[in-house]
Amino acid sequence: MRVTNNPEEIGRCGCGRSPTGKCIGWHALDAAQLTEAQRQWDLEQYRRQAMDQFFEDGSCTGGWGEFKDK
């Protein structure tokens, strides 16, 4: 169904399965596929949050050791 009255509604998830609120095709998945898709989604979100904890050089200390030389 295409919603023409409110353009923001176009692409909205109608089945309630999408974690984004937008249709990403999960309505077509069976129970096992949905469980795997959710697991993959959760893992990717965890990875993104973890990467936000690191500095640009890829370290979690920003190049500083645990004990800084004085």
C-alpha–C-alpha distance, residues 49 and 40, integer Å? 14
Q: Which amino acid is residue 51, in one-letter code?
A: M
State pTM to two decimals.
Answer: 0.64
* 35 belongs to a structural domain: yes
Tell me which residue range forms the domain holding 40. 7-51
* 20 belongs to a structural domain: yes
Domain count, the chain: 1
Token pair recorded at residue 65: 């050791």
Number of Cα atoms under 13 Å in the Cβ half of residue 33: 7
C-alpha–C-alpha distance, residues 48 and 16, integer Å? 23
* 62 belongs to a structural domain: no
13-67 residue pLDDT tens: 999 999 999 999 999 999 999 999 999 999 999 988 887 777 777 677 766 666 5
C-alpha–C-alpha distance, residues 35 and 29, integer Å? 9
- 4 or 61: whose pLDDT is higher? 61
* 31 belongs to a structural domain: yes
* 44 belongs to a structural domain: yes
* 1 belongs to a structural domain: no
